[in-house]
Amino acid sequence: FPECKNGYDYDRTWYKETIPSYEDWVCEKDLYMTNTFVVSRILELIGAFVLGQLGDSHGRQKVFFFSVVATSLGRILSIMLTSNFLWFAIGVGISG
């Protein structure tokens, strides 16, 4: 990564700080954001099938409230654990 030899200069035009800039997900960690997107799309796809079937068998209202709670917990998990990429990706995936 020749562009990272002397550090990396972030574009702060729109945001002062983002998770990739805060955790320094550049250079050798540049695939972290792509992997986060892939994990979230895969878990979203699995969740659509699983929650759809559960909604048909156990009632849509119960499954809806479960999904709201799971989304909220996933967001909280991803916000609190940005320093651990695996848990961050799982949290983002849960929150869909």
Residue 63 has pLDDT above 90, yes or no: yes
Average pLDDT over residues 5-9: 72
pLDDT of residue 9 exceeding 90, the answer is: no
> pTM of the entire structure?
0.69
Q: What is the pLDDT of residue 2?
A: 54
CA distances from residue 27 to 11, 18, 20, 57, 89 in whole angstroms, order as listed? 15, 16, 11, 47, 19
User: If you average pLDDT over residues 48-52, what whole number do you get?
Assistant: 91
Report residue 85 CA to chain centroid gap: 9
Which residue did the predictor score with more confidence, 57 or 86? 57
Longest dimension (CA), the chain: 57
